Amino acid sequence: MKISYDMDVDVLRILFSQTPIEYSEDVVDGFTLDYSADGQIVGLEMLDASKQLDNPFSAAFTVLSKKAAQK
């Protein structure tokens, strides 16, 4: 998973895998989902991220169980 924030355009992007993006769909105002050729969600884009998040420069990652960490 890769998370990036572009300050110049105020866009937060989360890529869930390295699978190529086949198409994208605007799901609600300011949010776009990216899909692979087989219809799996592989990314998320948030426009105006600084207005949507408390701090687009900060992220926390927590593993909730050993089972989840082994995947």
Contact 11, 20 (CB under 8 A): no
Q: What's the maximum distance between 2 C-alpha atoms anywhere in the chain?
A: 39
38-65 confidence digits (pLDDT tens): 999 999 999 999 998 888 788 888 888 8
The domain of 31 spans 2-69
H or E element at residue 49: helix 49-52
17-31 confidence digits (pLDDT tens): 999 999 999 999 999
Report the predicted TM-score, pTM, of the whole model to 2 decimal places. Answer: 0.79
**Cα 11 from Cα 9, distance rounded (Å):** 6
Q: What is the tally of structural domains in the chain?
A: 1
